[in-house]
Structure 1
């Protein structure tokens, strides 16, 4: 089912994206990526599963995953964040739209001060990193999109009551795993 994953093992992902090693304490193994991710969730630092998913998913899928995660927390955001979420949603739906592209690049040029701001930065960096504010990009790792996705989701989780945080975290990771499985199926189908 997951033969089309971009990175078959955790080590494959860490090798292709060395920046992830700076964000996670858990060393990579030869374990299949999705099993490794589930192991992270069950481990001592379950938040690392969010970071792993952010790097594992293809960029546009990662932005959509982050949008969906933060949409579940929307009662914790103000009107400006709701507008940014809508902008990200519109961009994912129509990434070639000149209007969405311009709006997203403008939003991404602002410093990410909220969870949704990080997601807008991620989408904007995917869209056109050359037009982004240079200080925003230089403050991030060599893979700014995955870092921004992880930062956005994790800072969103910080707004969840401690008693509920692990269940919300688990739901977000399972959603990311499901998206990775769907992406793998699409890639396998495209190969034929």
Structure 2
């Protein structure tokens, strides 16, 4: 991760588990967040999370490795990862996506309620749920409440950030032909694995 990336997530490792994973062992993720079974058909067989990512990436449906990464990275890291992946293919994004990514990055850099609500509100108001909008929703659904600050809190389910980031990346990849899509997919997976090793 470059210096600018380190600056943005400075301090994020303070609350992350070793290797910046929510769960070191893949089965622990399935036990804690069973909703992943709706998004990843493969099941871990004693794998560590990193090994499971590798197995999925080499399997028949490598997109499941991307999905697993969205779940296993701590929410703040997952949003930053989604942001960085989309920045690699920025020429496919429109201004709305860029604006949404900027809001997501501001939350990653300063994860306070104000920046989270700004990302959430802007993403919810977007007419089309494009890749950048999904990543901003990932930030907005990361903690706190899904409702406004002046109403009783509605905590987001623990899987929503993962699903949002995953939707953003998969929808972005769908814009490419099969060969290019596969190249970007594997690149995104490598970026996630590298991110787990930062700290």
TM bin, normalised by shorter chain, reads: 0.7 to 0.9
Conserved? CA contact 1:19–1:141, under 8 Å: no
Q: Which has the higher helix share?
A: 1
> Does 2:139 align with 1:123?
yes
Query: Which runs of 5 or more residues in structure 1 are unaligned?
Result: 187-192
CA positional deviation for 1:3: 5.1
Structure 2 residue corresponding to 1:105, chosen from 99, 110, 120: 120
> Does 2:115 align with 1:70?
no
CA positional deviation for 1:166: 1.0
CA distance in 2, matches of 1:3, 1:102: 29
Alignment partner, residue 48 of structure 2? 32
Deviation by residue 1:3-22 (Cα, 9 ceiling, x = unmatched) = 55432221111111101111
CA positional deviation for 1:142: 5.5
Query: TM-score, normalised to structure 1's length?
Result: 0.83
Query: TM-score, normalised to structure 2's length?
Result: 0.80
Q: Secondary structure at the match of 2:197?
A: helix
Report the aligned-residue RMSD: 2.3
CA distance in 2, matches of 1:141, 1:164: 34
CA distance in 1, matches of 2:143, 2:47: 32
CA positional deviation for 1:73: 1.5
Conserved? CA contact 1:115–1:156, under 8 Å: yes
Query: Which runs of 5 or more residues in structure 2 are unaligned?
Result: 1-16, 149-153
